[in-house]
């Protein structure tokens, strides 16, 4: 059914079975549909490595950013103080949201190819009364995978609520929300779970969430209210994206069939290593050090001054692959995502085409 494979970090290539779920129209208040929602919420908590007595999954309409904004507007109160750690566009987007909402906040800006300095984060917490820390796990801007376990330790030490945008990593990088001491983990339907776009979700520490009643400055994005309504029997507050939800349930089933997050992480890591090795041979080098690289998406430097990304992009599209432009202002880059229904066999076809494009005999 696919005309081409999307090598982008979402929307990504989904299976035919996932797409087929969307051929049926479903009723939002029917028990059958509501039970799909409840099963999804249960399964999300399970794959986060925890249990429903401690955490709860809240689904929210919209793209991933809507859900990040929902958390920021709903859990950080006027008297609270938020520290945002940013080493990419998605961290900076959180800062923009905090500003518009009017939250008391500070941004620790870090160069895009570096980790935040733990010592500096600790100093910031020592000096000021931060009640919340927010960071992006896999910064999709570059593909860097941030050290959230270490940041979580600092958050815990200073009694700060820990918010993680795990949009492009949840389901594709093994993680245990309790061990990582995350209070609010945010992700969306169209990333590593391999569903289609239309909603996102928050896996929230129930004790913390219970304390946030009345904090939201938005009706549609009120996380607490959304939780109270959806938790009754799986009926969403306001119209739910029924087709997307059904497709997501199928995607979760396929994740389990693949062997769970562990197996998916292994497939993604193999995909990622394969692309990086093959591209290095044609002088396309990764922007992020191997040690800091996520298994999700890689940023590559242009191989030479004559390289024309648009021409390269069109060529690869003819071969059956859609690549992703870079997002850096200071260096010329492009990106290749390796998540979704994509195998090493697919990637070898792409890499052969890249070899040919670069004038290497294959």
Ligand X SMILES: *Cc1c(COP(=O)(O)O)cnc(C)c1O
Q: Could you list the residues that contact ligand X (CB under 6 A)?
A: 9-10, 63-65, 68, 90, 136, 140, 165, 167-168, 188
Residue number with the shortest CB distance to ligand X? 64
Q: Minimum CB separation from ligand X for residue 99, in Å?
A: 17
Helices within the chain (DSSP H only) = 16-20, 31-47, 64-75, 89-101, 118-127, 148-157, 206-210, 223-233, 242-258, 260-280, 309-319, 344-357
59 vs 125 by CB, closer to ligand X: 59
Q: Minimum CB separation from ligand X for residue 89, in Å?
A: 8
Q: Minimum CB separation from ligand X for residue 76, in Å?
A: 17
Q: Minimum CB separation from ligand X for residue 191, in Å?
A: 6
Q: Are 210 and 223 in contact (CB under 8 A)?
A: no
188 vs 226 by CB, closer to ligand X: 188
Instruction: List the one residue out of 92, 17, 29 whose CA is nearest residue 240.
Output: 29
134 vs 275 by CB, closer to ligand X: 134
296 vs 354 by CB, closer to ligand X: 296
Residue with tokens 């006027």: 78
Q: Are 90 and 136 in contact (CB under 8 A)?
A: yes
Q: Minimum CB separation from ligand X for residue 165, in Å?
A: 5
DSSP class of 170: B
Q: Minimum CB separation from ligand X for residue 349, in Å?
A: 26
Q: How far is CA 200 from CA 4, 40, 272, 315, 349, in A?
A: 25, 12, 25, 33, 32
198 vs 234 by CB, closer to ligand X: 198
Rounded Cα distance between 13 and 268, Å, is 13
Rounded Cα distance between 173 and 47, Å, is 11
139 vs 341 by CB, closer to ligand X: 139
């Amino acid at each position: 059914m696919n005309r081409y494979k999307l090598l982008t970090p979402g929307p990504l290539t989904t299976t035919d079975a996932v797409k087929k779920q969307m051929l049926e129209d479903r009723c939002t208040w029917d028990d059958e549909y509501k039970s799909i929602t409840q099963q999804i919420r249960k399964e999300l908590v399970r794959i986060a490595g925890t249990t429903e007595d401690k955490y709860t999954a809240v689904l929210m309409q919209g793209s991933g950013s809507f859900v990040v904004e929902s958390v920021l507007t709903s859990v950080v109160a006027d008297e609270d103080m938020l520290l945002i750690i940013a080493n990419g566009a998605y961290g900076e987007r959180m800062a923009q949201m905090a500003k518009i909402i009017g939250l008391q906040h500070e941004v620790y800006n870090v160069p895009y190819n570096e980790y935040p300095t733990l010592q500096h984060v600790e100093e910031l917490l020592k000096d000021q009364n931060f009640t919340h820390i927010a960071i992006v796990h896999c910064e999709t801007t570059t593909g860097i995978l941030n050290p959230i376990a270490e940041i979580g330790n600092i958050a815990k030490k200073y009694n700060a609520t820990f918010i993680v945008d795990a949009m492009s990593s949840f389901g594709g990088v093994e993680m245990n929300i309790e061990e990582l001491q995350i209070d609010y983990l945010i992700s969306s339907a169209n990333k590593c779970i391999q569903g289609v776009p239309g909603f996102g979700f928050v896996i929230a520490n129930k004790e913390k969430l219970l304390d946030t009643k009345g904090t939201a400055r938005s009706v549609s994005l009120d996380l607490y209210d959304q939780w109270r309504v959806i938790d009754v029997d799986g009926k969403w507050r306001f119209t739910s994206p029924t087709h997307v939800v059904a497709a997501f349930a199928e995607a979760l089933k396929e994740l389990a069939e693949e062997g769970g997050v562990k197996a998916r992480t292994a497939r993604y890591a193999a995909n990622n290593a394969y692309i990086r090795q093959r591209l290095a041979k044609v002088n396309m080098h990764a922007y992020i050090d191997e040690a800091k690289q996520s298994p999700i998406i890689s940023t590559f430097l242009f191989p030479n001054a004559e390289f024309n990304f648009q021409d390269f992009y069109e060529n690869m599209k003819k071969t059956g692959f859609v690549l992703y432009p870079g997002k850096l202002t200071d260096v010329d880059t492009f990106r290749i995502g390796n998540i979704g229904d994509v195998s090493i066999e697919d990637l070898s076809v792409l890499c052969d085409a890249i070899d040919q494009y670069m004038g290497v005999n294959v």
